[in-house]
Structure 1
Amino acid sequence: MESGPGRGINFGNALDALGGGPELPLDERYFDEVARAGFDTVRLPVRWSAHAAAAAPYTIDPAFFRRVDAGVRAALDRGLNAVVNVHHYQEMNTDPDAHLPRFLALWRQIAARYAGLPGQLAFELLNEPGGRLTPSRWNAVLAQALAAVRASDPERTVIIGPAGHNDLHALPALAVPDDARLLATVHYYAPFDFTHQGAGWVPGADRWLGRTWGGASDEDAVRSDLERAAAWGREHGLRLFVGEFGAFCGAAMDSRERWTAFVRAEADRLGMSWAYWEFGTDFGAFDLVRGAWREPLRRALLGAADPARRTSRP
């Protein structure tokens, strides 16, 4: 992944599903849709912690490992990059000292299993660290997790992000290890009362229903945010990956299209790779029932770009 993930999409709510909401079947035809549309990358959020033993050596369930294998291989076989992360390990945010040995054991297993795969696979150490994973604590944990990966996979691209749930405003507190194969990630859902209006898991989100987006002040805010992140990346010599951005289906589609197109265009202008959240559930750019892209969102993400282009190929 020498030139970065390029244009990506998240297969959220598949290998990371918490239950109680829509889930994405990890079907190979969806990888076909992503490749044909012209994306470069599939980000695979994985809830390893729900499929690993609670006691040392914290063995990952072999059947679940095979499910992840299938997703990684489906992406690579189609000339797509793949990003595999540790997702929804909430206990790392609430009790990091107790869960650190298990977290590191997960990464030792993941890195060893995939060490022989092509460079189009990247690892992302932890999705949205926060809570008791304060910046200083997370910086120490990040270094340990990177060492766990490097023990068996010294050349793999590894993606790191700041505490504060990968918010771009938290980048200044991120301590970057001395490692030549790192990317930095941020997530972008601003303004939150627009992107999460009507989201059932956010208290009070129904009060935001009807919030639109698209005026000059809205654009200025996004531009300022992303330029700040880009400046940090230049200062630290790191490529930036907007690993998640998207607007929940509670927002009107015309505003969702404008916001998505503007965030994507600004990321492109600033040389950032990105991955839209997400493919086919409640933020989805693809309608699973119709078996077709939601055209306003597909257009916002890809426009009239040449679908044959790929940022990286095996």
Structure 2
Amino acid sequence: MDRGLGRGINIGNALDALDGGPELPLHERYFDEVAGAGFDTVRLPVRWSAHAAATAPYTIDPAFLARVDAGVHAALSRGLNVVVNVHHYDELCAAPAAHAPRFLALWGQIAAHYAGYEARLGFELLNEPHGALTASRWNPLLAQALAVVRASNPDRTVIVGPADRNDVAALPALAVPDDGHLLATVHYYAPLDFTHQGASWVAGADAWLGRGWEDAGDENAVRDDLAGAAAWGRQHGLPLFIGEFGAHERAGMDSRARWTTFVRSEAERLGMSWAYWEFGTDFGAFDPERGSWREPLRRALLGDPERTA
């Protein structure tokens, strides 16, 4: 894997689903859809912490590891890059000191398991550090986790992102280790009252229903946010990867498509790779029930004309 991941999509809510949340079966045919549509990369969010022992040596459940393997193999066998991360480790974010040894042990197992895999597999150390895992705590833990990975994977692409849920504005507080195989990630969901309108897990989100996205002020905000991220990347000599961006299904489709088109095109203009959130649940660009892409979103992401076949 070089450090430009091109155009990607998250297979979200398959290996990372939360109790009571949407869940996507990890069907192989979905990888056919992704590759056939023209994406370059699959990001596989994985909730390892829900499938590993609570005490040392924190062994990962072999049956769950086999499920992750199936997703990795499905992506690689179709010529896709694949990013495997640690997703939804909320206990680590709530109590960093207590969970840091387990987090490092998880990465020791993951890295050793995939050490022999081809270079198109990359690792992302942690999705959206937040809560008590502030920059002052996350930066040294990030460096420790990278050292654990490098013990078995000296040259593999590793993706690092800032605290405060990988927010663009948090990039200046990210301490970047001296390593020639890193890529920096941010997530982009601005403005939140548009992208998360009606989202059940966001307090007050129903009050945002009907919020459109269409004026020059909205566009200028995206330009400013992403230009700032790109400038930080140039300063640090790091490629930028927008690992998540998307708008919830309860937003109007016309506005969702406009926002998605604009964020995607600005990211590409600035030389950033990206992965849309997500494939087939509440932000999904693909409709599993109909077995087809939601054309306004597919065109927004890939920019090609509507298909007839």
TM-score bucket (shorter structure): over 0.9
Q: Secondary structure at the match of 2:42?
A: strand
Residue type at the aligned position of 1:9: I
Q: How does 1:223-242 map to 2 (within 5 A)?
A: 223-242=223-242
Match of 2:7 in 1: 7
Q: How does 1:155-166 map to 2 (within 5 A)?
A: 155-166=155-166
Q: CA contact under 8 A between 2:3 and 2:157: conserved in structure 1?
A: no
Match of 2:125 in 1: 125
Counterparts of 2:192 and 2:283, CA distance in 1: 14
Q: How does 1:154-193 map to 2 (within 5 A)?
A: 154-193=154-193
Counterparts of 1:278 and 1:31, CA distance in 2: 13
**Displacement of 1:22:** 2.0
Deviations 1:197-249 (A, max 9, x none): 00000000000000000111110000000000000000000000000000001
Q: Secondary structure at the match of 1:274?
A: strand
Q: CA contact under 8 A between 2:15 and 2:44: conserved in structure 1?
A: yes
Which runs of at least 4 in structure 1 moved beyond 3 Å after TM superposition? none
Counterparts of 2:3 and 2:59, CA distance in 1: 34
**Displacement of 1:3:** 4.2
Q: Which has the higher contact order (CA 8 A, sep 6+)?
A: 1
**Displacement of 1:278:** 0.1
Counterparts of 2:3 and 2:164, CA distance in 1: 27
Residue type at the aligned position of 2:304: A
Counterparts of 1:154 and 1:68, CA distance in 2: 22
Counterparts of 2:217 and 2:103, CA distance in 1: 42
Q: Secondary structure at the match of 2:185?
A: strand
Counterparts of 2:115 and 2:156, CA distance in 1: 8
Q: Secondary structure at the match of 1:23?
A: coil
Counterparts of 1:160 and 1:21, CA distance in 2: 26
Ranges in structure 1 where 5+ consecutive residues have no aligned partner: 308-314
Match of 1:310 in 2: none
**Displacement of 1:19:** 2.3
Match of 1:27 in 2: 27
**Displacement of 1:5:** 1.1
Counterparts of 1:5 and 1:18, CA distance in 2: 27
**Aligned-CA RMSD value:** 1.0
Residue type at the aligned position of 2:126: L
**Displacement of 1:21:** 2.5
Deviations 1:111-142 (A, max 9, x none): 00000001100000000001111111100000
Deviations 1:65-114 (A, max 9, x none): 00000100100000000000000000111000000000000000000000
Q: CA contact under 8 A between 2:3 and 2:182: conserved in structure 1?
A: no
Q: Secondary structure at the match of 1:249?
A: coil
Residue type at the aligned position of 1:254: D
Using the size of structure 2 for normalisation, the TM-score is: 0.98
Residue type at the aligned position of 1:201: W
Q: How does 1:21-60 map to 2 (within 5 A)?
A: 21-60=21-60
Q: Secondary structure at the match of 2:275?
A: strand
Percent of aligned pairs sharing the same letter: 77
Ranges in structure 2 where 5+ consecutive residues have no aligned partner: none
Q: CA contact under 8 A between 2:3 and 2:183: conserved in structure 1?
A: no
Counterparts of 1:284 and 1:12, CA distance in 2: 9
Match of 1:64 in 2: 64
Match of 2:74 in 1: 74
Residue type at the aligned position of 1:176: V
Q: Do the aligned partners of residues 218 and 270 (structure 1) sit closer, same or farther apart at CA in structure 2, a change above 3 Å counting?
A: same
Match of 1:149 in 2: 149
